[in-house]
Structures are given as structure tokens and as C-alpha cells.
Structure 1
Amino acid sequence: MSSRFSRRSFLKSSVATGVALASPLAMPSLSRAATRPEITHGLQSGDVDANSGVIWARTDRPARMLVEVDTTGSFETPRRLAPINALPDSDFTAKRLLEDLPSDQDIFYRVAFADLNDVNAVSEPMTGRFRTAPASRRNVRFAWSGDTAGQGWGIDSDRGGMKTYATMAKHQPDFFIHSGDTVYADGPMKETVDLMDGSVWKNVLIEEKTKVAETLNEFRGQWKYNLLDDNLRAFNAEVPTFFQWDDHEVVNNWSDAKDLVSDDRYTEKNVHLLAARAGRAFHELTPIRYTPAEPGRVYRKIAYGPLLDVFFLDLRSYRGPNGASMEDEMTPGSRILGAEQLAWLKRELVASRATWKVIASDMPLGLIVWDNWKEQAGAEAVANGDHGAPKGRELEFADLLRFIKTADIDNIVWLTADVHYTAAHYYNPDKAQFQDFKPFWEFVSGPIHAGTFGPNDLDMTFGPEVRYVKAPAEGQGVNLPPSMGLQFFGLVDIDGTSEQLTVRLMDRDDQELHKVTLDPVRRG
């Protein structure tokens, strides 16, 4: 078959298989349509490597998830998998790992649900696809961004919904990295918002988006809201998403020490309980792999062939209090990665044989993000704003950067989001207060569909240089709506022959804003 199944052919196949699945899975005739389950929020795939990938779907009642897998969209010789159950305790979601897949191959999966109270009542099927990672060198393309449906900007159907997802889909990436703020559980929406140009933004609303999320079902509702968007569901059917999280999945600037006593929006003041509910919803409603040793773990590595390993960080789950630590020596309160995650990252970087090592970080390294914006106080990210020798959270990253240099690890690129604008930063030890590291690039992109802010100031501890930035112009204000076009994503291309890595910073209208091509360091 061809190396790339066309989008148009895929969509035709998806429609056609609505009836075709009935026969292979011994489903009933369509005359029982009124009583059959439904697939409520489309399909998703994620965490794809050379021989496996995770798929996800949700139905509307207790049901069996029926799955067929094939290497063609016609499903002429499908592999039929044993059914798994979707039950109320998981909000009728189900996901499973597809294993023993051929590498570098288009994989088509077809999903239906059989009602557990009447197994002859089976839903209309849906079809999705992804491509497995290669076992040998080939061109690789992926996208990344962050920040979906934030700052009150939801789905305005009259304005085309979340249009950035449709723009990204045109580039047919092998996968998409969602760098965090995947939902805004702390961001209630209003039905309408008056814009500066005199027009009105009209949000699609569900009950769970009218207040901050506190209950498990309210956290689940944040995800189900985003999946109402036609662009996102179409994107999910074609492009696997590799998820990580940041703060807004729980509450703004979340850490274990977050104090909600004075926040009148919350009747539940226990941030540990809110985080537990948010984490459960995150794992129920995304196609992220399950880690038996630490259920709920977000940090992980995805190997995407000989040219690329992606290392996903979690700067939320193991951090000390925001803004509390400015010590010269590392303490539990100064950590943001945590000792276990830092040790894991070092081991995996040393073990990696991929040409490029992409570190997907949910927060930037050198940009100053204040915990208290009004008073410009307290580190919420890594940088503490003093432009001096590493202190507090900077100590873990100084340790990591020194380790990378000492271990002589090359070809590391950092990708991040969080700050709601796009930029390219070059970290130059000659300009840094801490100089014991190899120079590297950090690329920032986002929001996908949220308010636009920035730019932030840079802390010079690690010597970042701004090589490009696009953010609201002076006088434009903050929290600009998606309709103003300042919505961003990044594209990364790795050439299978030269092994060069090219990063392009893009906007919602598919304009290329900035481009950097990096040559790999090759060893003997």
C-alpha cells in the first residue's frame, strides 16, 4: 500500500465502514438503531511506537468495546481483538494497547460498542488511523503546542470552532505533542463575550464548564467539552496525540501546597483531592499509557524510530511549593522534577541511541513565570528571576545540564508551551551565569485555542537568547481571543537521509513565522 493513506480516502473509508463492521463482528441488523449504544466523543490514539499504540473511545452506557485492526482502510483481513468493558466507574470510557503491530505502517482500527444489557444492540462503528514508528530511517514529522479552551474562549461554532487543530491536520503529522493545559478545569465560561471590535464571541456550553471543576464528573466534563469540537475530533481520528499535563488540568499554578482558602469559587478546598480527581479524569479521557509501577505517572519516553526519542516531563506532580525556595543547595522544597524523575531522565538520555533527543517540557526553562503576577513575585516555573547562580528549582536543571555535558550527550532539543505565545530561544553558556553545559535550543509554541499573552522576561542564569518571538504587540492588551489569529503551533521535520532537524513556528492561518534547521552531531 502507499506510505501515506490520503485524508480524503480515509474519511470515505470511515463512512463506509459504518455498515461494513456489522458483518465481521456478527452485529445485529440496523433495525435496532433506537436502542443501540453510541460512541459519544469520537476516537483517539496516542503513545505510538514501532510496534504498538493506545486507542480510546467512550460510549453512553455499560458496554463491550469491540475492536478490529488492519493495515488497510477496507478491513479486508482484520484482526479482531477480545472485547473489553466500558463501565460507569470509568465514565464509560475504554482504552487499550494495540500490540504486535508492524513498524512503519498505517494502522486502521475500527471500534463499536455492544450493550452489556443486550449484546445484540451494537453501536454504529467508527474508524481511526495512525502510523507506527519506523524501524529504519525515514522522514518524521510531528507537531506540538499547548493550551486548549482557556481563559474563557471555548467553541464558537460560528467562527469555525478550534481551527488550529484543522490547520495542524493539513500537515499530516505522524503525531502531536500536547504540551499541557490540555483542559482548563479552573476556567468557567460565559455564554457570550463582547469583543473589542464590537462583535460577540458565542461559546458552546455544557453545565460542567459554567463553574470550576471540583467533582470527578466535573473534571471529566472538561475533556468532554473539548471533544465537542468538530476540528478536534477529526484531528484525533487521524493523528495520535502524546499528552502531558500542566496546572490548569487541576487549578491555576497548582502544587501540593496550593491554598484555596481565599478562593470563593471553590467549596472543596483540599487541593490534594482536587488533583486526585483531575488525575483520574486525565487518565480516563486520554490515550496515555498505563504505568503499573506508578499508576497515574505522566513522565515517560516514547521511542519513535532510530532518529527520535521523546522524553515527556512532569513538572507538576513532584514539585515543592511555588516561590518558596531560593536555597543555594537542593532541598525537597526546591525540587520541581523530583529525585526519581531526574534520575530516570539521566538514565534514559544515556541509554538513548536515537539521533535526536526531544525533551517535551510542560513549562519553559528560562522564561520567568510568576506565581503572583501582580507583585511579580514567586517562581511558578523554573526561573526565579534573579539572573544569578542557580538557586531553588534552577538547581535540578543545572544538575541535569551539567550531567548532559559530562556524559557527552548531543542533539538535545527542548519543546514547551505554557506562556501563550511562540518563541525560539538559544541557550548560550557564554552568556550564562551557570556555564557548565552544552548550548541547546528551546522552542515555545501555543496557545492552540486560548487567550494570547506575553512575552515574558528571560532569566539569564542559563544564558537564553531570544532568536524569535511573536506575542501581542504593545497596546494590544492581554488575553486576546482566538479570533485575532495569535494562535500557534510548531512543526518538527527530521530528514531521513541527512538527519537534519527543522523546526517551524506556525500560526493558526498556516503562516510560517520562523524556521531553524539543526545539523546533528555525529559520532565516529
Structure 2
Amino acid sequence: MKLNSRRIFFRKAGLGLAAFSLRKVTALTVEENNGNSKDEVFFTTGFKTAEVTPNSAILWTRLCQQAVPNPVKHARLEKVFRHPVDFDETMPVAQMDGAVAGSGGWVRVLLKDKASTLRSGWHKAEASEDFTVKIPFKNLKPATEYQMVWEAKASEKGAVFTQSGTFTTAPDEETERPIQLVTSTCQYFWSHDDAERGFKTYDSMARMNPDFFLQTGDYVYYDKPGPLAKTLEKARHKWHAMDSWPALRDFYQKTPAYLLKDDHDLLDDDSGPTSPAYGNLTFADGLKVWHENVPLADKPYRTFRWGKDLQIWLAEGREFRSPNKSADNPGKTIWGEEQKKWFQETVEASDATFKILFSPTPIVGPDREKKTDNHANDAFRTEGDWLRKYLTAQKNMYVVNGDRHWQYVSVDDETGLMEFGSGPVSDAHVQGWDEGDVRPEHRYLSLIGGFLGVKIMRENGSPIITFTHYNVDGQAVHHEKLVAV
């Protein structure tokens, strides 16, 4: 069935979000005693379980007016990024491909494990927050699977619509157990590689049943057409269109997530606090939209423990940086002094076997010589040298980065620090490096899309960490298996 006719069928049939998916999910239902077909709300842009710890999680969703997103009508150019053909940037956002109108209303969540049920209060979805809702839960049990039941209604006495999902909390720091995580970066709506589902990578990651997912930035691209997000409304639309792809909705239905931001999902290329507005979209607007869509408990840099053998750090690379093109000096920074102090204190307090820093941008590289916005560039050489030396001094510590549009494994020639770049979500998004340009730092280099899997386990009592690059179909293309020292 063609994409457009398929979506028209669902709309006429009156089927909800879950029916639109090709995977088996819990159907959208209405409480019989309150049925009112004119008072509907939908979870069309899905829901996410975020910032999971052994005892807490933040749940996110957005209430929607329409059961399915607008159909994808535009053809694409057959070149990198697959920009849409003849896209009218001036058309109303409500008419754009992938658009999903929001709805006011009320939302709550029930969490069930084998022994108990937790229920949140009702939270209001309001236009000022783009109809998004964040619901924090505390006092959860470590390493426990929870069944989620989302309930939503358009008004306080309206019909109640439900949808279900699952997630499992992190194990406590004394527990030895295998951990499987997946990570990816750089996804542009028009670079999709599955006309029905959106991105093959998400379905490939889902088949691995990972414990959690970490997205390292450039979740959307404000500065690429279809539309160019030069207003707050268009920036919000980019998230709606991305999150309504069935592959993403299904993936987040059972996979906890941690999200980092980078330049393209905040403002435009290489942006920072001193960047001028992108059209009418300011740096502050970009921060607002990001916080609407990404639940955080506190600061944008944070750390999470997953059992005895793993702790992860999520770095913030945009909010505290010096201007990219200012002269390098000891005070020039990407992280800012407060984040650097926090990072050192938390790393040195950790007794986790393996430590992974997730950075939205490279720390080792190599990167292109003309670039000026990351620690692998000469523009931030002083802070980059400090960070590489510090990381190398820690036992069993590695870097996983986003931002680069190719897959690689690099080892810094001065410090020996090892860095893993996941590459972009789709092959259509690959660009910026030549296949034959293999540098001495490279242990692996491939110009493909896909994702990175990281597995922590014990073999005969010895902790092992394995980094595996996968293509978009989920086929392993490179392994690095490392034993703890």
C-alpha cells in the first residue's frame, strides 16, 4: 500500500496511533462509560521514558488532535540529505508533510510491576508548552520492569483514551548484570530510508531489546529545508514530524532514553550562546523547544549508574561555550568551568568498572581541518588537550560521540584515548569524509549510516566491554572487545 493511501485509509477507518504502526502494540481504547467521538485526543507523537535511574524516571508525551501525521507528499532530491523537491516554505505549518496538531487536555500515567501500582495525578497539556507533558516518578524499584498505561482526555470530564508501554529501571550500583545499550546521532526527517516506518536504524535497534538508548544530538535539523525552522512554530514542527514516524514511536514504547542536544536541534550550524538568531528563532527559543521535548531533572550535563560495571556521563556542549572563532587560550571553553569541575568530581567519585563519556561532538576525531566547534579542532586545542589527558588517566574510560556523519573508531596518537563515532542514522545522511582518507588514528572507518551498540558483561568473572558498529539493517560491521584493567 502506498504511503499516502495507507494514511488516508487509517484516517477514514478512525483507527488510532497504535493501529498505524506495523508492530504489535496496545490498541488505543476509550472508556465505554465516557465515549465521545468528538472529544478525542491521541498519542500520535508517541511517548518517552527518560532519565531512568534505579529509583526514578521522567515520562514524556504530547497530546495531539489527529490520529496520524500529515502524509509525506513531496519527492526528494537524489543526493546527500534528500532535500524535498519544490517545498513551499511559506505554506501553513498545519499543511506540511509530517505535521501533527497538538491538543489541550489532561494526561496521567499508571505504572505497574508484579506487586504494586503507582498512579500519577492528572497533568494539563497546554499550548504554552506545545501540549507536552512531563511526569516524574520516584521511589521505583531497581532492575524492575514496569508496565505503563497512559491515560488522556481532552477535558476534565471527557472520554479517556489509553495506550501502553514498558520500561525497566537501572540496576543498583552493587548489581552485576549484563547491560546492552545503543546510541545514534544525526537524523534529518527527509533523510528517512523507509517510506512507511521512517528509519530502519530504529527498528534494527529495537530488535536488540536494549536496556537503554542514548541519542547524542542533532535529533532534528532546524537549518535544513522542509521547512527551514526560522520560527518557533516551525522548530516545534520538526519534533512532531520526527517523533511521529512509526519506527521511533514503537522504539520508545519500550526503550528508556537519554537525549543530548547539539547545534542543529538548538539553532543552526556550529551555534552557541552568542550566535545571532536564525531568522526569528533565537538561541533562547531553541532552548525552550528542546526542554519541551526532552525531560530533564536538573542540569543539561548529568551522570547515570547502571549496575556495578557501568557509569555514563552526558556532556553539554552548546550552552556554556566560548565563541568558536575566538583565539584559543586557557580560558576558551566548550564545557564551562562549572561543568568541568562537576565532571572531575563525579568521575573521581565513581567506582564503576567501565566509564563512558557521551559527547555531542568529537574529542579525539580526526575531524576536518576547517571545522572550529569541537575538542578535536585546533580552535579548542587547549581544553581538548586537557580533556584527552584527563580521560586517559582514568581506568577503563572511553568516549562515544555524535555529530560526525560517518562511522569510526579512533585512538588519539598522543594519549591513547579511544573514541567511537556511531555515524548518522541513515546512509542518505553520510557526508563530510572521504572513504579512502584513513588516518593513523583510525582503527575503523566506514562511510555508512547505522548505530553503535555497547555491551557490558562478565566472562569467567572478568568484566568485558564490547563496542559494535551496525549498519542500518542491524548487521554488525565492526567489533572492539576490551577487557577491564
> Cα gap change, 1:13/1:187 in structure 2, threshold over 3 Å: closer, same or farther?
closer
The amino acid of 1:451's aligned partner reads H
Q: Deviations over 1:30-56 (max 9, x none)?
A: 531331322231111111111111111
1:224 aligns with 240
Q: Is the 8 A contact 2:367 2:376 kept in 1?
A: yes
- Select which of 300, 303, 325 maps to 2:302: 300
Change (3 A) 1:257 1:377: farther
Given the alignment of the two structures, is residue 426 of structure 1 paired with residue 419 of structure 2, yes or no? no
Please list the CA deviations of residues 472-508 of structure 1 after superposition, one character each: whole Å capped at 9, or x if unmatched: xxxxxxxxxxxxxx32201011004532101101101
Please tell me whether residue 251 in structure 1 is matched to residue 268 in structure 2. yes
Q: Answer yes or no: is the 8 Å Cα contact 1:112–1:125 preserved in 2.
A: yes
Letter in 1 for 2:242: N
Residues 330-409 of structure 1 aligned to structure 2 (within 5 Å)? 330-331=330-331, 334-369=332-367, 377=370, 379-384=372-377, 392-404=379-391, 409=394
Instruction: Mark the CA change 1:423 to 1:402 in structure 2 (over 3 Å): closer, same or farther.
Output: closer
Q: Distance in 1 between matches of 2:419 and 2:440?
A: 9
In 1, the alpha carbon distance for the partners of 2:483 and 2:201 equals: 29
The reply on whether 1:102 has 2:144 as its aligned counterpart is no
1:165/1:171 CA distance change after superposition, 3 Å: same
Q: CA deviation at 1:28?
A: 5.5
Query: Which residue number in structure 2 is paired with residue 14 of structure 1?
Result: 26
Following superposition, the deviation at residue 416 of structure 1 comes to 0.8
Deviation of the 1:278 alpha carbon = 1.3
Matched length: 419
- The one-character-per-residue Cα deviations of 1:362-419 (angstroms, maximum 9, x if unpaired) are 111132545xxxxx5352222335xxxxxx51222322344456xx531101001211
Return the alpha-carbon distance in structure 2 between the equivalents of residues 237 and 94 of structure 1: 16
The SS at the match of 2:383 is: helix
The verdict on how the C-alpha distance between 1:470 and 1:337 changes in structure 2, with shifts beyond 3 A counting, is: same
Paired position in structure 1 for 2:78: none
Corresponding position of 2:475? 511
Q: Deviations over 1:170-196 (max 9, x none)?
A: 00101111011011111113xxxxxxx
Match among 149, 153, 167 for residue 130 of structure 1: 167
Q: For 1:237 and 1:325, how far apart are their aligned partners in 2?
A: 46
Alignment of 1:115 onto 2:157: no
Amino acid at match of 1:36: E
Deviation digits for residues 405-462 of structure 1 (CA, Å, limit 9, x no counterpart)? 6xx53110100121111011122xxx42xxxx5x3311111211351014379x9xxx
Measure the CA separation in 2 of the matches of 1:154 and 1:33: 33
Match of 1:5 in 2: none
| Paired residues of 2:391 and 2:397 also in contact (CA < 8 A) | no
2:275/2:283 contact within 8 Å kept: no
Spell out, residue by residue over 1:202-250, the C-alpha distance to the aligned partner (whole angstroms, 9 max, x if none): xxxxxxxx2x213222211111010121111000101111100111011
Q: Which residue identity is paired with 2:452?
A: G
Change in 2 beyond 3 A, CA 1:37/1:447: same
Q: Which residue of 2 aligns with 1:448?
A: 425
Q: Which of the residues 111, 131, 135 maps onto 1:92?
A: 131
Aligned runs of 1:40-59 on 2, under 5 Å? 40-59=44-63
**Residues 450 and 473 in structure 2, CA contact (< 8 A), matched pair in contact too:** no
Q: Is the 8 A contact 1:69 1:79 kept in 2?
A: yes
Q: Is the 8 A contact 1:366 1:464 kept in 2?
A: no
TM superposition score normalised by structure 1 = 0.74
CA distance 1:54–1:259, shift in 2 (3 Å): closer
Which of 218, 225, 229 pairs up with 1:188? 225
Q: CA deviation at 1:168?
A: 0.6
TM-score (norm 2): 0.80
Give the whole-Å Cα distance in 2 for the aligned partners of 1:509 and 1:36: 36
**CA offsets, 1:48-93, max 9 Å, x none?**
1111111111113332212110025xxx953222222211211111
Q: Determine the structure 2 residue equivalent to 1:148.
A: 187
- 2:283 is aligned with 1:283: no
Q: Is the CA contact (8 Å cut-off) linking 1:146 and 1:446 kept in structure 2?
A: yes
**In 2, Cα distance between the equivalents of 1:234 and 1:378?**
36
For 2:220 and 2:483, the matched residues in 1 are separated by 35
- C-alpha contact 2:356 2:398 (8 A) present in aligned 1: yes
Determine the C-alpha separation between the residues in 2 that align with 1:77 and 1:419: 44
Give the aligned partner of residue 482 of structure 1.
none
CA distance, structure 1, for counterparts of residue 192 and residue 429 of structure 2: 10
1:133-185 CA distances to partner (integer Å, 9 max, x unpaired)? 112111000001101116x4247525x42111001100010111101101111
The 8 Å contact of residues 57 and 137 in structure 2, kept in 1 or not, is answered as yes
Q: Which residue of 1 aligns with 2:457?
A: 495
Runs of at least 4 residues of structure 1 off by over 6 A? none
- Tell me the distance in 2 between the aligned counterparts of 1:502 and 1:267: 44
- What are the residue-to-residue correspondences of 1:318-329 with 2, within 5 Å? 318-327=320-329
Which residue of structure 1 lines up, in the alignment, with residue 109 of structure 2?
Answer: 67
Letter of the structure 1 residue corresponding to residue 122 of structure 2: P
Displacement of 1:355: 1.1
Q: Which consecutive residues of structure 2, in runs of 5 or more, have no partner in the other structure?
A: 1-22, 65-102
CA distance in structure 2 between the aligned counterparts of 1:267 and 1:45, rounded to whole angstroms: 33
The answer on whether the counterparts of 1:421 and 1:455 sit within 8 Å (CA) in structure 2 is: yes
Q: 1:78 to 1:33 in 2, by over 3 A?
A: farther
Structure 1 unaligned regions, length at least 5: 1-10, 190-209, 261-265, 292-296, 371-375, 386-391, 472-485
- Alignment-mate amino acid for residue 66 of structure 1: R
User: Would you say the 8 A contact 1:300–1:313 is kept in 2?
Assistant: yes
1:206-245 aligned within 5 A? 210=227, 212-245=228-261
RMSD between superposed Cα atoms in Å: 2.6
CA distance in 2, matches of 1:259, 1:62: 33
* Residue pair 1:342, 1:400 contacting (<8 A) in 2 also: no
In 2: Cα distance, 1:369 partner to 1:257 partner = 23
Distance in structure 2 (CA, Å) of the matches to 1:71 and 1:12: 21
2:193/2:200 contact within 8 Å kept: no
Q: Tell me if the contact between 2:314 and 2:357 (Cα under 8 Å) persists in the aligned partners.
A: yes
Which whole-Å CA distance do the structure 2 matches of 1:184 and 1:161 have between them? 16
Cα distance, 1:378–1:501 mapped onto 2, change above 3 Å? closer
